[in-house]
Structure formats: structure tokens, C-alpha cells
Amino acid sequence: MTFHKALTELSHSPAFVDKKRPHKLADLTELCATLLDVDRVSVWQFPEEGDRIESEWLHTRDSATGETSSLYKSYNPEYFSALETERVISVQDAQNDPRTRAFTPGYLAPLNIMSMLDAPVFDGARLSGVVCLESTRRRQWTLPEISFVVAIADTISLINTYEAWLDSQRALEYVTRYDSLTGLSNIDSLRGRIGHLAGKIERRGLGSLALIWIDVDRLKSINDGLGPQVGDDVIAEVGRRLKKLSVPGKDLLARIAGDEYALIVRNHTMRDSLELTASRIRQEINKPIRLTGHAINVGASLGICHLPGDFQTTEDLLRGAEAAMYNAKQRGRNQACFFDSSIQTTARSRFALENELRVAISDHTLDVFYQPILNTSGLKVESLEALVRWKHPQRGWLPPIEFLDIARSGGLMYALGECVLRRVCEHWQQAHNQSITLPEISVNLAAEQVSVAELPSLIRGTCREHSVPVSALHFEVTEDSIQGDFSSL
């Protein structure tokens, strides 16, 4: 049997293909040692730094091992230069050859190694390792032997390529199925799992599941006040707590958005059981999170929806759980709410109003009314307070109480504040052009504006654009705004 035929039969056998990398290297080095009657066969690889090679596997006549040893380039420049420039290092007198004699005192002489045959392993054009044969008798390596060792090196190169492909597939699977920050399943995995379970419930005609939508309250304030890295740390910690939490029927936990998670509960879907599960979730999240010297307290609003009790499809179940969560927020946050038909109507109206408000802010169609502030005698106007109003195309004039919470939950408060500031400056400019002197105008700032570093430059730029002296405006952050958004810090 020729060398190459033996290698082909080994490398193409199903048993070899299914083996883990160490076992493949063990088989290859053993085959090489046996067929070529060599005392030692080892496989080495370059780490990422490229300043050394490290032994990955060693086969001797007495043993085989995966223990690691290193050979540094700085101490053996001639050998490394040969590896990089020669296709094969064929050495008859290893202890005296310029390429390998540096190994003699500490390695070749003690082990009585006389001859070496090294074949570099390439991954594409990159030198990634070497197959090393060592003989205790002096020998002149033949062309068939050299060709065989090169084939062994090429086989290892193919193994490396295949493993790199598997790694890329696993990385792709991770990216498409898992959240990189928390390691939890993502929204696509959640949809797939719900679809699978819903199909089983429909086919069998029995079973149930509940989806609990979990939203961490006031995370935006943490991002704005302490920075996005702290916000990410909070998200990761909440994910770890939810992952460790043991509740009846727990199936799949996913992170589905920036500060939102979802939990599938199977079979244990009676209201009492889910209320207890929701309570344990909130208790776990409510525990203080200690980060960067801060004890951060966050809450959570939960929405709960059933399949098949409330909905039959995955997307409807997701929308229902999210709508129930928003209803929990409207009721005061840090509580759980079960889905019902009234929530569905409210949710549709809320989502529609949020989109319409977004358009109104973008189109600059919000308006500002002014409330006079009188002096202590009540006879003189000392200042004006700017109050935002929205003339809805169908609902008419809307006071702030009807849309500010929607703006806050939709992340629109900074843009809303910018819109108000611009409108105030326009009105001041119009009055100035008509020779009307206005008293100081008080503009309320939301906490979402105050915590943004760009706010001073926004104020200066908007005032400059409309020729308004900054001193003409007075900015206030109400106590309620601070308490409502920063009590969690």
C-alpha cells in the first residue's frame, strides 16, 4: 500500500471525519510514524501573535500527548526563516545544520535526534503551523517520504479550513439567533419557538402557553444620566437575573429590544400561577444593581398574553403581550397587566397617536401657548410660561396630559422639547419685528433634555438662528420631572 493511498483511506473514512480535532491529529501522526518508521511526529501551530510556534500534538513510539510547549522565533531565527521561505525543511544532520543546530543543547542532543523533516502548514497564504518528523538515526529523506509529509500537512490545512468554516457557521448562528449583549435568545428565536409550540398545541388540541413581555422602567434615564455603558451593564444584569430565575413552566427567555425581554411559560398558565410568576420577576428585577459606585434601582412593567386563549398566531400573541405591557406602564409602572379586549382597542389608539405625534414633531406643527406670571401685586406680568399644545387633525386641541406620556414612552421627549424651543424663538422674533417687548419667557425642560450634553449648544444655536438673546429665556426643570425620571438612580 502506498503512503498516499493509506492517507486517503484514513482521511476519507466516516469514522475519521466524525472525530474531534485531537483524535484526528493522533491518527495522522500515528500513521506517519508507522509508515515512515519515525520516532517522533508532532504538529505545531502559530498563535495569533506569530512570535512562536506551540506544539499541539506529539506522537512517540511510547506515547501520544496533547501537552503544549513553545518554540520562540527570537531564539531560533534561522529555523523560523527557513519555515517561511522553504516548502519543506529536510535535514539529515539536525544537530549541525544551520537551520536547526540552535535546538541541539537543550533538545536534539538529550533526545538523540539526528534527522528532521518539517513541512509547513498553510491556511491559504498564511503560514499557520508545521508538521515535524524527528528520527534518532541519521537518514536521507526520500522524495516519496517528503511528498507524504507534505500531504499530511495539507490534510491538516484542510482540517483547519473546515473548522474555520464551522466556526463561521456557529458565529452566524449566534448572530442570527442570539443577543450579543446578554447571550439570550433574540426576537427571531422567540418567534420560532412560539410558532413551534403553537403548532403542537393546534395539532394535539391541548396545552397552552403564556407570553410575558417585560420592560425595564426608566432605563433611558440611566443611559442619559450615567452613560450608555452603565445602561448596557444594567441590561446584562437583568438578563442574568431572569436567566437564573426558576418559575413553573419556564420555557424560553429572550431579549427582544433595548430594555425589553420576553418569557414563554408553558402549561402553567392559570391566572394565579402567572400572577405569582410575574411577582417573582418584578421582585428579582427590583433588587438594587450595584455598578460603578452606584446602587441603581429599576422596576419592570409586565404584559401577559395567552395562546390560544387570547390569540392563535405568533405575531398576534407578541402584539397582545406588548400592548398589555404598555397598559401596565399607563397604570403607573412596576406592575403586571393581563391582556383583554379593551387593551387591544387602547393599544391601537396609542400606537396610532404616537405615530401621529412623531409626524407632528417632524413637521413642526405643534404650537405653544403662553401663561402670564404676575408679580405679587397681581398688576404686572413678570414673565410668560410656554406651554406646548397640539392641534390634532381629528381630535382638535390636545393638552400635554394627553400626549406627553406617549412622547416619553416613545423616546420623543428631546425632539418635542427642541420643537417647543424653536416655536418660542419664532414667536419672540415675530414680536420683536413688530416692536413688541416681551417679558422673560419660561421654558420647561424634560429630564430627557437636561441629561443630554448637547442641550446648551442646541439652545445657543436655536437662539442665534432667530436672533433671540439667550437671556430672554428662562429654563426650568420641574421637581416632578426629576422625581419621575431619576428616582431609580
| pLDDT tens, position by position, 190-234 | 999 999 999 999 898 888 999 999 999 877 777 777 778 888 899
| pLDDT tens, position by position, 27-62 | 999 999 999 999 999 999 998 888 889 999 999 988
The highest-level CATH class for domain 357-486 is: alpha beta
Q: What is the pLDDT of residue 329?
A: 85
Q: How far is CA 204 from CA 3, 116, 197, 207, 468, in A?
A: 59, 68, 11, 8, 71
Q: What is the pLDDT of residue 478?
A: 53
Dihedral sign (CA 168, 171, 175, 180) = negative
CATH superfamily of 3-175: GAF domain (3.30.450.40)
Q: How far is CA 362 from CA 272, 358, 436, 443, in A?
A: 45, 6, 29, 20
HEC string for 352-369: HHHHHHHHHHHCCCCEEE
Grid coordinates representing 95 are 544537530
Please report, for the chain, the start and end positions of each structural domain, with discontinuous segments joined by +. Answer: 3-175, 187-339, 357-486
Q: What is the pLDDT of residue 281?
A: 96
Q: What is the pLDDT of residue 344?
A: 62
Question: Which string of DSSP letters, residue by residue, matches 88-107?
Answer: -EEESSTTTSTTTGGGIIII
The terminus-to-terminus CA distance of the chain in angstroms comes to 76
Backbone φ and ψ of 277, nearest 5°: -60, -45
| pLDDT tens, position by position, 141-190 | 999 999 999 999 999 999 998 888 888 887 777 777 888 889 899 988 99
Grouping H, G, I as helix, E, B as strand and the rest as coil, residue 454 is: coil
Write down the CATH number for the domain with range 187-339: 3.30.70.270
Nearest CA to 488 out of 234, 299, 300 is that of 299
